[in-house]
Structure 1
Amino acid sequence: MSDIEDKHKGSYETKVHPILSSDVMSARIENVRSQLEWEPSAEKSGWENFVDSFKRVHVDEVDPNLSVAEKIAVKTARSPLKRKLKNRHLQMIAIGGAIGTGLFVGSGSSLRHSGPAGVLIGYFISATFILCVVCGLGELAVEFPVSGGFTTFATRFIDESFGFAANWNYLLGCCCTLPLEMVSASITVNYWNTPKKYRDGFIALFYVVIMGINLFGVKGYGEAEFIFSAIKVTCVLGFILLGIILVCGGGPNGHYIGGTMWKSPNGAFVGENGGQRFKTVMSVFVSAAFAYSGVEMTGLAAAETANPRKSIPKAAKQVFWRIAIFYIVALTLVGLLVSHKDPRLIGTSSADAAASPFVIAIVSHGIKGLPSVVNVVICIAVLSVGNADIFGASRIMVAMTEMGHLPKWCNLDYIDKRGRPLIALGVMAVFGAIAFIAASPKEGEVFTWLLALSGLSALFTWFGISLSHIRFRHALSAQGRGTDELCFVSPTGLYGSYYSCIIIFVVVCLTFWTSLWPYKTAPNAEDFFESYLSAPIFLVMYFGHKIYRRNWKIFIPSSQVDVDTGRRDTDIEQLKADVAQEKAEIAAKPFFKRFYYKVC
């Protein structure tokens, strides 16, 4: 491939230096990574090895003759993060990543504002496009398990300005969600009538635990998430079994419930006519986006996964079934057990565990003891989400520094010999300290505005992932290549990514409408920005970067997109042969095994 002149600093054209073919470049990346594996020295004391582990890993500078795009691709591909996540870690991260306060507590607000049918419609439609997003992400993450994961794909396959805006939006969301979750925890302990003077103590406890976990590196994160996710999954499955028993009349009260909560005087929807009901259903999507956020963590963890080719496809294909079980079934039972007119759903704030429909459903049917168990699980869910936020945001900061989206002098790409991004973790520790506002009487307002900053960020991230998948496929086609060279092909395909982009765009537009003209209240700035603050921030970032870099392209030309740098499998012909052999072996298996492989 001939050189393409990089005419100005904003150019994002891909240029392959003549002395660096894709095979040679990938070989160099792997050689650098192999040299970065650090083990404690037997000649040093334990303390000396401990101190030595915090020293920065030295990485050679990239070839200055490379283009901006290639420099970013090489830097993110050879990042010295450790590949310590195993298949069991990734599976549990995928299962439990989206189970948090959004499900246990936030679903109560959705139920109150839209009714049981509105909740199911909003969450189910969201589940369909999330399936497409995660499958497309799985395809990209298997091929390019690079530092920053999906945060680098937008910059690489779409446009530098879009990547800049999307990455800052996601980072801001993570930085806001961390203190938000710890404030949630402080409000959750109110269920046990905890004296307010102890609130800072609980915040400090959660703060120390999740920061300590991340100081153990990626392995600490993986083991903690494995345990947290197992507890959350057990709780949801237990509630589903209990909910079925209660709906059928097997509770202490012995009353058959069935579908009575969907009938008059409660009703399945909120609103007196079709237009009002449509508006209340649309209000669910922001809550669903906050609840589902976390499903993309498998793509972010790809760079630190021992074998992404085997682990990520399973995690991606099983997302739909996990969402169907843990969200759709659980929320169906919640809608059958709790009236959307129940005054307890209002709570003292949007993080009040007493307003959890799971807790209300159990309390309303005379079961003692279990509500406290659910609240303990809510606290664990808070720890899990906070743990994921620190892990994700710290890795994003590293990637954004490598991409030039954060100042180099901040040293946020500092990675020590154990693969820990120490300075980025320190920045997250500072943001986490915002949670100590829980002792303030304004904690509810702080929670609301933190939620506003992070509310739509997940939607913009998912849109960027699907658009990156579309651009990657177009780049393959434009360069005369096909999906036969891919280790994993998205089951939902290119059309699935188009579907998710369209639905997300429609949801963002309709959310603008419901935010500007909310149900039952006159248009006001506070309600609008509480629901839609992420959107103007994204637009300011996008156009601000365009103006600063004088980069007026919407997309990187498909023929110039780098589809090679960062791949772990560099021998394309051998890879095609391996993929063809795997497909032949699967085709020879019995029908039920082929079906299981297809959907799981």
Structure 2
Amino acid sequence: MDYEKPEALNPQVFGHQSPQPDGDDTLAGFDEPVPPGDRRELRGESLWRTLNERHINMIAFSGTIGNGLFLGSGRSIASAGPGGAVVCYLLMGTVISSVISCLGEMTALMPVNAPVMEFPRRFLSRGIGFAVGWMFAYAVLAADQLVAVSNAVKFRYDDGTTFLNWEVGEKVDNAVWITVFLILVILINMFPVRVFGELEYVFGCFKIIFIIMLIVLMLVISTMEPRANAYYKQPISTRYWNAPYSFFNPVYHVKDEDLQIRRTITGSVGTLLGVWTTFTNVLFSYVGMDIVAATAAESRALADVESMKMAARKINLRIITLYSLAVMTASFVVPMDHPFINGQGQSVGAHSVFIIAVVEAGMPAAAHFFNAVFVFSAFTCAINAMYIASRVLHTLALRGQTGPEFITRRLRQCRSGVPVRSVLVTGGIMMVGYMGRSGSPGARLDELANNCTVSCLVVYATICATYLYFFKSLEDAKLYANTSESQAASYDRDNQLYPYKSHGQWLKACYGMVTCVVLLLFNGVAAFVETPFNIRRFVSAYISIPVFLLLILGYNLRKHGTNFSEWGPDKSGDLSNTVQASNTKRKGRLEFPDDGITRENWSTFVRWIWEWTK
């Protein structure tokens, strides 16, 4: 179908229809929000919009903070060096921030169900929307988080001076732990969404407090006088950034599946390889920030159009700042050549730079607490990932894109606003985590995490490309001769009532798309420098690309058969369900009502602080 300019529609808040199967021109919308006192249908196909803005913020935060930071930051320091690791976190933070800004602006203007798949469907192609939906569901499927939980429980730390272990973890097979945590994840996802949101709010608050405590503790360890049982006698300060160490790591170690060093590459090539491989590792740490838009179908806060703007900006600010500070302070106290962060630890927990720091500072008891928090963090990430994957699966079912009708009909069903069958099916798919019970500690986890990251790169590149077409659609809509002034205003990004605009966003979209594509194409470079060639690593690095293309191909074959003339991008460019801010006074801006220091100014300042912290 040739591209058609979007129809100019009056600005509105929400539509009144649920997503229809492909082939119907009706577009995805929302049911009207139901006041808390009204009766709801216990059974049906609709999700309940009961989440507040604070729930959305913390669901996204809690779903992002996991083993990517706590267990993977040490590997980043080892590969790229202390300064290189911080640079990688900052650079990848700008990439993911660009993606979230693209997704946030589109969702703020047009609150739709499953925006990650709906917007590509509208502005690129229905086939691409279908493929992105399945890729996104897989990317957040949390099998890697289940493997991380089972590995973290098997905690053992032995450096010849300090011996720590969890006997209960070591004596029980990984499959048992995966089963136990999978059942718990499924049960928690069966809770009513409001209860789920409150739990996630508590989880997120705990994680924020813990990370801040972690940053402060790393600073204290680096500056305080060593304890009597510490591994060193003088304050560390920034010695691990100075000679004989360096800002970047000039040595790249090529390791086999058992993490044994096979060859060493030095010089500028070694530095480049170390930084490049760290990019993928860092991006995995940021996976989950897109959850901020994925909760749209169950958010009653979207009636306030600025809630998405604030949520997107807060998740960017919180995650990137806390991650960068945590990695920087940790790099002060653990050198990049420490054997445990270079793969020689006895367990996944022993690879954590934070556990190494407290053990060598003479606080081994804190290592047990830290590892318990790491188990908890991976577990809560698995909960969030199942939540998102089940909602994407539910939306695919509403679109009629989950196979035979007898399956699709059941996946659509909800009970008390929870897509119970979608949750159960997602749990069944998550059993792929049992594949991670074999191999060296962390080997299968690395492969699952890498594959998850690559799948997210496909999704993120598509989101950025979608935004560019969305941006063009806005410009086209404003140029319509039959567009009224009020209609044109809803498409005008310079209008004061436009819900969310990030300056230079189309440039950010280009930057995010190009960076994601480059990372996607060259993320498997490590497989090519290994001898013999590492087939498993190569497959985990690139399998998502042909899968994405096959999904698009399969959709077109099912939709159009071999009539290739119909295989063109069947996008609608639809701009329906647009919303506007209610007034020009915007959230997040600090505007004092009076001159000087007054009670009203203090109240305004306190409300502004609360707006950015809640």
TM-score band (shorter)? Answer: 0.7 to 0.9
Q: 1:291 Cα shift? A: 1.0
Instruction: Provide the C-alpha distance between the structure 2 equivalents of 1:86 and 1:397, rounded to a whole number of angstroms.
Output: 23
**Paired residue for 1:383?**
379
Tell me the alpha carbon deviations over residues 92-139 of structure 1, each in whole angstroms, 9 at most, x when there is no partner: 223333210011112222222222222122211110121122122221
Task: Give the alignment of 1:519-534 within 5 angstroms.
Answer: 521=531, 523-534=533-544
**Equivalent position of 2:505 in the other structure:** 493
Give 1:49's aligned residue: none
Partner of 1:70: 25
Q: Which residue of 1 aligns with 2:162?
A: none
- Supply the AA of the counterpart residue of 1:392: I
Corresponding residue for 1:315? 311
How far is the alpha carbon of 1:446 from its aligned partner? 4.2
Deviation at 1:91, TM superposition (A): 2.1
Please identify, of 192-201 and 96-105, the stretch whose mean Cα deviation from structure 2 is larger.
192-201
Of 163-172 and 325-334, deviating more is 163-172
Aligned residues: 539
SS of the counterpart of 1:97? helix
2:289 match = 295
SS, match of residue 517 in structure 1: helix
Q: How does 1:348-387 map to 2 (within 5 A)?
A: 352-387=348-383
Structure 1: give runs of 5+ residues left out of the alignment: 1-9, 33-58, 570-574
Q: 2:90 aligns with which of 124, 146, 151?
A: 124
Q: How does 1:13-52 map to 2 (within 5 A)?
A: 29-30=15-16
107-116 or 235-244, which deviates more: 107-116
1:161 shift after superposition = 2.5
Question: Following the alignment from structure 1 to structure 2, what is the Cα–Cα distance between the partners of residues 436 and 99?
Answer: 23
> CA separation of 1:408/1:168 partners in 2, compared to 1, >3 Å: closer, same or farther?
same
- Determine if contact 1:172/1:453 at 8 Å carries over to the other structure: no
Bigger mean CA offset, 370-379 vs 109-118 = 109-118
| Match among 332, 335, 340 for residue 336 of structure 1 | 332
Q: Secondary structure at the match of 1:226?
A: helix
- Quote the offset at 1:564 in angstroms: 0.7
Displacement, 1:561?
1.1
Farther off after superposition, 179-188 or 585-594:
585-594
Aligned residue identity for 1:562: D
Where do 1:142-161 residues align within 5 Å?
Answer: 142-161=108-127
Range with greater deviation from structure 2 (482-491 or 313-322)? 482-491
In the TM superposition, residue 419 of structure 1 has moved relative to its aligned partner by 1.1
How far has the Cα of 1:385 moved from its partner? 1.0
Tell me what 2:234 maps to.
Answer: 255
Indicate conservation of the 8 Å contact 2:150/2:174, yes or no.
Answer: yes
Query: Among 59, 69, 72, which residue is 1:93 paired with?
Result: 59
Q: CA deviation at 1:426?
A: 1.2
Identity of aligned residues (%): 22
Q: 1:238 to 1:156 in 2, by over 3 A?
A: same
CA gap 1:298/1:15 in 2 versus in 1, 3 angstroms? closer
Decide whether aligned partners of structure 1 residues 273 and 301 sit closer, same or farther in structure 2, where only a CA change above 3 A counts: same
Q: What is the rounded CA distance, in whole Å, between the counterparts of 2:329 and 2:587 in structure 1? A: 40
Q: Are the equivalent residues in 1 in contact too, given 2:121–2:129 (CA < 8 A)?
A: yes
Matched residues in 2 for 1:245 and 1:26: separation? 50
Aligned partner of 2:152: which letter?
T
Q: Distance in 2 between matches of 1:23 and 1:415?
A: 32
Matched, 1:506 2:518: yes
Helix, strand or coil: the match of 2:28?
Answer: helix
User: Partner letter of residue 471 of structure 2?
Assistant: R
More helix per residue: 1
Partner of 1:459: 457
**Is 1:83 equivalent to 2:46 in the alignment?**
no
For 1:204 and 1:108, locate their aligned partners in 2 and report how far apart those are by CA, in whole Å: 28
| Alpha carbons of structure 1 residues 141 and 516: separation in structure 2 relative to 1, 3 Å | same
2:52 alignment partner AA: K
Q: 1:388, CA displacement in angstroms?
A: 1.0
**TM-score when normalising by structure 1:** 0.80
Q: How many Å separate the matches in 2 of 1:150 and 1:114?
A: 32
Output the amino acid matched with 1:163.
G
Q: How far off its partner does 1:163 sit?
A: 1.8
Deviation of 1:404 (Å): 3.9
Matched, 1:394 2:393: no
8 Å contact from structure 1 (residues 90, 312) kept in 2: no
How far, CA to CA, are the matches of 2:372 and 2:588 in structure 1?
48
Match of 2:546 in 1: 536
SS at match of 1:70: coil
Could you tell me which residue of structure 2 aligns to residue 46 of structure 1? none
Distance 2:500 2:114 in 1: 20
Paired residue type of 1:221: F
Deviation of 1:188 after TM superposition, in Å, equals 0.8
Q: 1:126-169, CA deviations, whole angstroms, 9 ceiling, x for partnerless residues? A: 10121122122221222333222322111112222322222222
Residues 243, 299 of structure 1: CA spacing in aligned structure 2 closer, same or farther, 3 A cutoff?
same
- Deviation of residue 179 (structure 1)? 2.7
For residues 401-442 of structure 1, give each alpha carbon's deviation from its aligned partner in whole angstroms, at most 9, with x where no partner exists: 233432252225423241111221111121233445566567
Change in CA separation of 1:101 and 1:517 when aligned onto 2, cut-off 3 Å: same
2:568 matched residue in structure 1: 553
Of stretches 103-112 and 387-396 in structure 1, the one that deviates more from structure 2 is 103-112
Give me the TM-score of the superposition, normalised by structure 2. 0.78
CA 1:521–1:273: 2 relative to 1, 3 Å: farther
Residue 228 of structure 1, CA deviation: 1.7
Match of 2:275 among 266, 278, 281: 281
Shift in alpha-carbon separation, 1:289–1:169, aligned structure 2, 3 A:
same
RMSD: 3.5
